[in-house]
Chains A and B, each alone.
Chain A
Amino acid sequence: MKIIACYSNKGGVGKTATSVNLAYASAMKGRSTLLCDLDPQGASGFYFRVKPSKKLQNKAFFKDVKGFLDAIRASDYDNLDLLPANLTYRDFDIFLSRMKNSRSRLKKTLKELNSDYDVVILDCPPNISLLSENVFKTADKIVVPVIPTTLSVRTFEQLNDFFKENEYQRKKLMPFFSMVQQSKKLHKETMITLRKNYKSLLKNYIPFSSEIEKMGVHRAPVVTFAGKDFAANAYSKIWKEIEAAVKI
């Protein structure tokens, strides 16, 4: 089982769209895939029309594995399941801090899934917290969407520094350009500069696309309703690069 986190310490960079579409791309390649919505806003679940279970909202279910497994819902697509966002994630950081060895807690829980899934994709909330540190430790790779603008690049550099300072494995980081507008000079230039500095940047990028924005209307992965869209297909290319990197 490979764990791929989709993370950015900045909001609005296309993180949830990335998680949803990468999870779909993985499932379409025949890999049994679980998308975990760790973001309390619960947008991944919304895209798949999955309601969070009322019963489970009030349970700190990382504490008990059965609760965790029971909360998983099948999506409408083959090979793709979803762990809908749960309100207790807000309290998850507190919960984790109370526990000894809290940083390996997520890993232990995810291990229970080993036989069920080839790929687990974590859609993470945009902050650096104990939960995200858990993710940094647990994930095999961390995909980071970066909009080629000064501010977005700066946040990525901050993340990189944070990894360095805290001795997390920086080779786990897989940044890629998101919401790219080739017509913008700034985007183009930023991409060229950043590619020089970060060799780990993925070759493929996600262009800005109104089809991706329409995911909220269709409530489905973008390829399912806009299969011919360039941006839609860029996700499967990015997924290929990730697959090659994690060797599955």
Chain B
Amino acid sequence: MDPFTYFLPAAFNQKKLLKNIPSEPQYGLSLEKTEVWQGILLDTFDEKMLGSNNMLFQVGERLLCFDLQSGQLIEQASPETWSFSFDLPDGPVTSILKGISSLRAFLPVAKVELYLQHGTLLDDERKTRARLHHLTISRGGKTVGVGSAQYLRGYDQAHADLCQSLEKLGAVSRGDVGQVYEFLKIKREKYISKPVVRLNPDAPVKESAQTIINAFLKIARRNEKGIIADYDTEFLHDYRVGLRKVRSVLSLFKGVYSPEDTDRLKQDFASLMQKTNSLRDLDVYLLNKKQYFELVPEDTHEGLEILFHYFAGERRKEQKLVSQIIKNKTYLKEIDRLQKLFAEGAALIAGPKAEEKSIAFACRLVHKRYGKVCSIARGIDEKTEDEAIHQLRINCKKLRYLIEFFAPIFPENEIKTLIKSLKALQDNLGNFNDYSVQQTFLRQVLSEKMGGFGGTELKVAESVGALTAMLNRLQQKERRQVMKNFALFDNSETRATLAKLFNTKESVHENNRLLQ
């Protein structure tokens, strides 16, 4: 039997609870209360704890985690300040947090006062028949509680009696953490990196473009503060994804804006993003540090350590630079201007396709892009230049973006399956590209940056050499997988879904012709 997990929108009244418990059998309630602690409620920026119905509190040098789903309350020692799950010593809370996120920082949300009560419902022989754990949380004069009544095997009645008494106190079964926030008036971030966009299939595509761009610009802007504070690398990542999506709309939705506007806007967004390229590259390197070390033999680790020390230093510099740029008035003026431009839309010059119905536009573009993907893929064999693989990657990405942008006007499940069928191929091509970019980057370090390693150049060069060789090997391995993964995507089922959703039938014929 699952424990009875509850949310109590009031203070816990022990006397009332005891009164509510039936007198037969003769129950006794033994309650132990901790002292009142000053605690800090923690969560990631994207509210991953709240999303999984968990609450995490820092209480001095301890962490307290309550899962409102399972009713599990766990505690663990921790440093007083920390950011990431991997900063914490091993323990039950750590393993939960690792499962929640290894990339996101756990940030303070609100200061609260809290205390715990552990209760046992005893029979006349002082045998425990049910257990109660109650966490009282107070903030700004308001008090709520969360807790669970735990069932002990064979004592169903005692558990039922306890639950009933709790319900009489006002306990709500299976509450959610959102309710706790609401009652205690804790402000929520409500940030989601993938915005929910509503599109009208019959609306002119310029409207849809504007809606999508607005949504992604908003996402980008919500990450600015986090980038400046440098809480975690996901802020910059999401910021860049937001801007990249805007650029993709501009370049993929051909003819929605005038060619002049399109070019200018593409340039504007490109220059915004460009300023953060180096920082993101360094982030990726540092995040993958462990994998890189595992790739190369141990005797090159010393050199790699020096190299990563250098990366960490470079990252600090880059972060400072990027944060200064984002704080700067010039940037703020520019991004405000762009946001306003799309929010109002009036100043944008419409292109020849601006009035086309969104759904027709979507079908036309997906059809075209799908044809292109197929024709490139079918031309690839073992001897094809890497450039063709890069082209395939770019076109696959464009195809996925197109499908994703217009996803709101198509059946959700079919779109999901379609994107899933593209995933293996995309991951494969993505890895192929990442390995290639990383090699280029390392070669650049070798040719331009060696001056900065006074005395240790040889060691660094050795490890860079070893790492480059391994990355090349991995890249070739990915390359050999491309055809297999394309075949997985290029099946009759996917073709049928594409044909059904986007009317791509003709392109299939076209491609069959190409094959012949």
Contact = CB atoms under 8 A, between A and B. Distances in A.
Interface string B92-134: 0000000000000000000000000000100101111000000
Nearest to A84: B154
B125 A74 contact: no
Nearest 7 Cβ contacts at the A-B interface: A74-B152, A73-B154, A49-B127, A74-B153, A76-B128, A49-B125, A81-B153
Nearest to B128: A76
Nearest to B126: A49
Given A73-B153, A73-B154, A74-B154, 7 more contacts: A49-B125, A70-B154, A74-B128, A74-B152, A74-B153, A81-B153, A81-B154
A107 to B, nearest CB: 22
Interface of B: 120, 123, 125-128, 152-155
Interface residues on chain A, size class = 10 to 19
A72 B1 CA distance: 14
28 contacts: A48-B127, A49-B123, A49-B125, A49-B126, A50-B127, A51-B123, A51-B125, A51-B127, A53-B154, A70-B154, A71-B154, A72-B153, A72-B154, A73-B152, A73-B153, A73-B154, A73-B155, A74-B128, A74-B152, A74-B153, A74-B154, A74-B155, A76-B120, A76-B127, A76-B128, A81-B153, A81-B154, A219-B125
Interface in A29-87: 48-51, 53, 70-74, 76, 81
A109 to B, nearest CB: 17
Most buried by A among B120, B126, B127: B127
Contacts of B120: 76
Contacts of B153: 72-74, 81
Contacts of B127: 48-51, 76
A175 B371 CA distance: 78
Contacts of B126: 49
A197 to B, nearest CB: 43
A20 to B, nearest CB: 15
Interface string A198-222: 0000000000000000000001000
Contacts of A74: 128, 152-155
Contacts of A76: 120, 127-128
Contacts of B128: 74, 76
Nearest to A81: B153
A103 to B, nearest CB: 28
A72 B152 CA distance: 10
Contacts of B154: 53, 70-74, 81
B244 to A, nearest CB: 48
Contacts of A81: 153-154
A245 to B, nearest CB: 28
A71 B126 CA distance: 19
Contacts of B155: 73-74
A52 to B, nearest CB: 11
A73 B126 CA distance: 15
A49 B123 CA distance: 9
A76 B122 CA distance: 10
Most buried by A among B128, B153, B155: B153
A24 B212 CA distance: 62
Contacts of A219: 125
Contacts of A50: 127
Most buried by A among B123, B125, B155: B125
Most buried by B among A49, A53, A72, A74: A74
Nearest to B151: A74
Contacts of A71: 154
Nearest to A48: B127
Most buried by B among A50, A51, A70, A76: A76
Nearest to A82: B154
A219 B154 CA distance: 19
Interface string A110-147: 00000000000000000000000000000000000000
